[in-house]
Structure 1
């Protein structure tokens, strides 16, 4: 629906929709499919919304709380909902005069199944042949046989550049983990309680990297 806005007002009226509503006397109210507000004209979040669907929830920050250094957010956990603000939003006072609120949607069982199947691979994906140009490039790299300085591979080994990078990453994570396991066997239970405080968990990083590379 096209919108037109000025400094003090914004109109979101579709002429075709207005004509349809006027012709249909059973509808008591005029229906407009877009809502926009500027509380106290402190937030100006959008410059052009033609042809877009904008869903954004925000709340103004109390200046007194900001001066006292208090956290204005009622919900501080935005895991899975945190979006990096644009430069235009920061200029207009994002995280200074207002902050975004995490949005949750109500979905029934059928809607959840539909969203889960949105990017699901179909059965014909397994019958698709690889790209000829990419396959030729991979074969050319295999023929060149680059040297790998890895202890668990032969000195001369034909492999892809991507897999070479993955092997080196796994090796850099496996070496400190192997060393830490050997050192743990010589420590007392009291020493083990504070051994990994403030340090990187090598085992977890190794598991996550292996799981990510397998996928």
Structure 2
């Protein structure tokens, strides 16, 4: 690995806060009896928000990111392996599923399930004992959240394959910012009424997805995600990083996200127009009672301003990267 590649990898690890493990053996030790005991006790059945955080290995992260990027505008899907430690869900590894996706959804067909069974059989024979702990899929260009179909899929998995986690990756925004855009989620039981929350992290949701996002947002919750690495993963990471690094070098952050950027600007314009329609163009006063819409419009306008700022920063960052590459290689 040359100096530039090492520097790029170090930057990636710092940007995504990938922390080295202090005790490598503890995290990678799989205690079958302990896991069996947890599965028998099922503590998550008495607390809908029993799991409080997710820890993902850098190897699993790189595999999921590379797979998501390979799909382009098409959603891809895979499974994650790991274990439970206290109230943490630990993702140790991940593998892709050979499924057919579209630009709006992805579902595992019969061949996908057959592949999953064969894969798990082979890795068990090879000595890897971690169970399937969840699934991941991509949302190219429209953020990390669960759609109605995703919620139904995750809810079904939690009924029959607990403990189970849903992870969503946005490869477009990952390419645009350099930081992995990833979210981890679990659904609530059907009879559970989630408390309203105003502390959710700001997300840029396209206009054509807002309704789907809003309707189902109270049926699941997001878990904080952290990443870790170990000396055990180093050789595998070098191979995966070389592939990731070459993809980045051979692509343009400006040209590669040009269509994505145009869509986001158009979407922002539509949102601003919708806010403006609530006001009288002559007198600058609301068409309906001020107290009914002032707070809503102020909130939406604030979100649009944040979205605009984020777009500007991302574009300038990509432009600087392009200039730097031109200076180095030309």
Report the TM-score when normalising by structure 1: 0.32
Greater RCO, 1 or 2 (C-alpha within 8 Å, sep 6+):
2
Higher normalized strand content (fraction of residues): 2
**Greater Rg over alpha carbons, structure:** 1
Report the TM-score when normalising by structure 2: 0.23
